[in-house]
Amino acid sequence: MVNLDLIHNRKSVRKFKSTEIPREDILELIKAGTEAPSPKHQQNWHFVVLQNRDIINEMAEIVTKSHENIGSLAKNEKDFKKHMSVIKYYTSFKNAPVVILVYACEYDMIEYKILKENDAPKEVLDVLVSPQSGAQGIGAAVENILLAATEMGYGSCYMTGPTHAKTEIENLIGFNKEGYELMSMISIGVPDENTPPKPPRKPLEDVVTFID
């Protein structure tokens, strides 16, 4: 039987020890990310590594403020409580010794250009971009990093929630590369003892359809 423990053992870790991560290990993780499949081989990713505790803490404060501002707009108490209940997950990166910010540039689609120049209707163009190929490539790179972290004995957590404060985070970080914007982040570190178990997945019969 094929050993897939590498995949099955991966889980989201949100509590870490203060142990520093060697730079060579961080680079090995990112190298694994760059080996991911990339639509049209555009490799539209860039990785910004944060280890400065003050910057990470300030980023958590930015996300908290943004989250609270959104919550204040809720029309009822139920929505407010549901929204605020996840803030601890959106800011859990503040506990990590390393946070990798994943940036991406626009995915270039020659077919979109051709159709648009021929006045294709909006519904046709919308169908073309609906698979979000660029974002799928970023997700594949992130998953490689998560699996590599598991194999190397580190804990990790993939987050897109904090990007509701994307503009403020980008301004804080000050990373400037034309056309690139923040897509997600990954917290990485030596996991604390007794981290919660991986939540159960849906049964295969609920998510698989065979068409013979």
Contacts of 180 (CB under 8 A, 6+ apart): 46, 103, 104, 105
Structure confidence at residue 194 (pLDDT): 87
Structure confidence at residue 117 (pLDDT): 95
Cα gap 68→82, rounded to integer Å: 12
Domain with residue 125: its CATH number is 3.40.109.10
Q: Residue 150 CA to chain centroid, in angstroms?
A: 16
How many structural domains comprise the chain? 1
Classify residue 212: in a domain, yes or no: no
Classify residue 89: in a domain, yes or no: yes
Whether pLDDT at 88 is above 90? yes
Q: Count of CB atoms within 10 A of residue 114's CB?
A: 10
Whether pLDDT at 4 is above 90? yes
Structure confidence at residue 141 (pLDDT): 98
Structure confidence at residue 201 (pLDDT): 95
Average pLDDT (194-208) is 94
pTM summary value: 0.93
Structure confidence at residue 77 (pLDDT): 96
- The answer to whether the CB of 6 falls within 8 A of the CB of 150 is yes
Classify residue 114: in a domain, yes or no: yes
Structure confidence at residue 1 (pLDDT): 80
Whether pLDDT at 100 is above 90? yes
The arrangement of strands across the sheet holding 45-50 comes to 45-50, 98-105, 180-189, 155-159
Cα gap 45→41, rounded to integer Å: 11
Q: Read out DSSP for 33-78?
A: HHTS--GGG---EEEEEE--HHHHHHHHHHHHHHHHHHHTT-SSHH
What mean pLDDT is reported for the chain?
95
Half-sphere exposure of 146 (CA within 13 A, CB side): 22
Q: Which domain holds residue 87?
A: 4-206
Classify residue 78: in a domain, yes or no: yes
Classify residue 112: in a domain, yes or no: yes
Classify residue 211: in a domain, yes or no: no
Query: For 131-180, what is each residue's pLDDT tens digit?
Result: 899 999 999 999 999 999 999 999 999 999 999 999 999 999 999 999 99
Ramachandran angles phi, psi of 18, nearest 5°: -80, 5
Structure confidence at residue 158 (pLDDT): 98
